[in-house]
Amino acid sequence: MSKTTVESLATDLHALPSQVQHVLAELGAEGDNGKLELDADTLEIVKEAVGEMVQNKQIALLTGSTPRDIASALNIGHAEVQKSLVKAGTLVALTTALQPEVAERIVESFGYSVKWAEPPKPKIKQEDDRVRKRAIGTQPRPPVVTILGHVDHGKTSLLDYIRKTKVAEKEHGGITQHIGAYQIVHDGKKITFLDTPGHEAFTAMRARGAQVTDIAILVIAADDGIMPQTVEAINHAKAANVPIIVAATKVDKPEANVNKVKQQLTEHELVSEDFGGTTPVVPVSAKTGEGIANLLELILLQSELMDLKADPGGEVEGVVIEARLDKGRGPVATVLIENGTLKVGDTALIGNAWGRIKAMFDFQGSPVKDAGPSTPVEILGLDSVPNAGDHIRQYLDEREARETAEKIRDAERESQLAGKSAKVSLETLKQRMEEGESKELRIVIKADVQGSVEAVRGLIEKIENPEVDVKVLHAGVGSITANDVLLASAASAIVVGFNTKVEPTATSEAERHRVQIRQYRIIYELIEDIERAVKGMLEPKYEEKYLGTVEIRQAFKLSKAGAVAGCYVSDGLINRNAQVRVKRAGEVIWEGKLESLKRFKDDVREVAAGFECGLQFDGWKDFEVGDQIEAFETVRVDA
Ligand code: GDP
């Protein structure tokens, strides 16, 4: 046995005390007051493990570490850590639990990397992310509620009734504002309602990676029962992993039948509490107000169960609920704050828009100076209109915010030019699995008639594979709609159509969100494709896409820059990433890539027909005046 201390071990090993402490903690060999008694073998193990951390420049942190923890792990002053936080655009208290990404960024700025002593959950599924987010912070926050359901079942009436009866009238009696969300107080507790009902908006936000809803209220008219959009809404809420409370509404009507609603719900795995399940079903009426207090109580109860928390002093996080260009006021955005506190005067980057916040208004149109977790606020001062679902980030430095906004705009332009292939497709399933992205193939099915929906669903669900779970998220009758695509996008799924059409809006949404739509007329081809994809046997197909024709009109052989072809684009266009085929007297004499594309002296991304340009070829210079160049791209065709 040899006696030592953490400090002296650290000095001997040229290590940080925190590295030694971490290794000791892992071995369960912590001593009292830093005094250690280790046998020779343990000492060797400790030395080796600490040595490894020193070599890899690693420090260990627990999830939820604060700036103070980082300072002590790095053995530096608090001020230094705070300086680095400020540089990263984050202003938080020394005792604020940092998001893992932020902690990593800060530690990296000191040349170290983080070894998570209790590793954060992998960021694969949004659901997991939500769980992490819900638990972050120390202060309880109000729940954010969305109302879903079939058209005409009473969603708007319910929202209006709650708003009318639960929001105290403002003294100035101002105009009722609709900023996309409002907040009520029931039993002294707040609830935030998103007032764009329906799963379209709900899923459109999710498709943009923003899930703000904590609880979904599924409205079902008790005189009508479950309808097709009710089923869609159920599947959308389930895919988002959001708890559902059912409001069986219009119970003031004589033909209302709540029991029938409960019965129908069991077919969708929502079993009401009095049928032995866990789904609350509340009879309500937006006409008489019956049951609405009960509904609000259940929302608060559910929210308590979920232990929703945030950190008002932490990093600002929030999502745009809606945004528009106002003639008098310029770009206006409603942001739902998720964490931290946003203040007038803060510099913010939202999507690709940025600005210094000039003014903020609550949902009743009153000016406010700050907004904390779960609060919807309208903000003014952005330089352009962001999109619903965009995330907000707070910056301390205006220049940095502007430059980042410009970079994002550039990148967006570039990716539009480059074209995109589907993010999830049958062809890339195997690759995604190997990269650890997914072990599940999620599918949305649309077919011409109920019979084929059932047939396709039955066959797909029968496909078995030890490595991949095939899961049908939603199956319905009719053409493929934008909604189906948004659901697929939000849940990283593909859309399969059988004997059905694709609505034009669905095609454009699919392009925008890079969702694969596959259509079939023969059922066994559909099943075979999915089976082969699951086995990883479906190879992506590539196709050549013609870009343009370019003539070589001059040949410069410069000693320094090499050989440059002076060209004229006679058809289409040529871009920097194009592949080229050089033809002389009709014969292809060279094929390859460009080394550079210039207009006058400047490098450019693209030159269109009717303009001159200078070209250099990657590793080839034997061109002649009169050669014809065909420019093309190879694109992946997914469906
Ligand atoms: P939404 O399309 O789901 O937003 O449905 P609305 O809120 O617009 O309601 C559709 C129709 O049902 C309207 O004519 C409402 O007046 C009526 N309605 C909504 N809720 C109730 C209710 O609780 N009782 C009765 N009798 N009618 C209702």
| 288 pocket-lining for ligand 1 (C-beta < 6 Å) | no
* Interval between CA 151 and ligand 1 midpoint (Å): 9
User: What was the pLDDT predicted at 500?
Assistant: 93
- Mean pLDDT over 529-536 rounds to 83
Candidates 146, 152, 157: which one to mutate for ligand 1, based on the most atoms within 8 Å of Cβ?
157
| 156 pocket-lining for ligand 1 (C-beta < 6 Å) | yes
* Interval between CA 241 and ligand 1 midpoint (Å): 27
Q: Based on the number of CB atoms within 10 Å of its own CB, is 265 exposed (0-12), middle (13-18) or buried (19 or more)?
A: buried
| 289 pocket-lining for ligand 1 (C-beta < 6 Å) | no
* Interval between CA 437 and ligand 1 midpoint (Å): 43
| 229 pocket-lining for ligand 1 (C-beta < 6 Å) | no
| 206 pocket-lining for ligand 1 (C-beta < 6 Å) | no
Question: What are 601-631's pLDDT values in tens digits?
Answer: 888 888 888 889 999 999 898 999 999 999 9
Dihedrals phi, psi of 455, to nearest 5 degrees: -65, -50
Q: What is the DSSP letter of 293?
A: H
User: What was the pLDDT predicted at 556?
Assistant: 84
- Atom 14 in ligand 1: residue holding the nearest Cα: 152
Q: Which of 264, 267, 151 is nearest to 200 (CA)?
A: 151
Helical (H) or strand (E) element with 333: strand 330-339
- Atom 11 in ligand 1: residue holding the nearest Cα: 152
Q: When comparing pLDDT for 487 and 143, which is higher?
A: 143
What confidence category does residue 170 fall into, taking pLDDT thresholds of 50, 70 and 90? low
| 290 pocket-lining for ligand 1 (C-beta < 6 Å) | no
Task: Work out the number of other CB atoms within 10 angstroms of the CB of residue 336.
Answer: 25
* Interval between CA 152 and ligand 1 midpoint (Å): 6
* Interval between CA 73 and ligand 1 midpoint (Å): 59
Considering only 163-177, 220-234, 533-547, which range has the smallest mean pLDDT?
163-177
| 154 pocket-lining for ligand 1 (C-beta < 6 Å) | yes
Q: Can you list the domains of the chain with their CATH numbers?
A: 2-117 (no CATH), 142-307 (3.40.50.300), 317-418 (2.40.30.10), 429-539 (3.40.50.10050), 542-637 (2.40.30.10)
| 152 pocket-lining for ligand 1 (C-beta < 6 Å) | yes
User: What was the pLDDT predicted at 437?
Assistant: 64
- Mean pLDDT over 484-505 rounds to 89
* Interval between CA 477 and ligand 1 midpoint (Å): 26
| 253 pocket-lining for ligand 1 (C-beta < 6 Å) | yes
What are the structure tokens assigned to 322, written together? Answer: 């809606």
Residue 180 pLDDT > 70: yes
What are the structure tokens assigned to 170, written together? Answer: 């403002």
Q: Are 607 and 597 in contact (CB under 8 A)?
A: yes
Dihedrals phi, psi of 479, to nearest 5 degrees: -75, 165
Q: What is the DSSP letter of 92?
A: -
Task: Work out the number of other CB atoms within 10 angstroms of the CB of residue 69.
Answer: 20
Considering only 228-237, 323-332, 410-419, 467-476, which range has the smallest mean pLDDT?
410-419
User: What was the pLDDT predicted at 175?
Assistant: 54
Q: State the average pLDDT for the chain.
A: 85
Atom of ligand 1 nearest to the CA of 160: 7
- Atom 17 in ligand 1: residue holding the nearest Cα: 154
- CA geometry: angle 144, 145, 151, nearest 5 deg: 150
pTM: 0.60
Question: What are 66-77's pLDDT values in tens digits?
Answer: 888 899 899 988
User: What was the pLDDT predicted at 320?
Assistant: 92
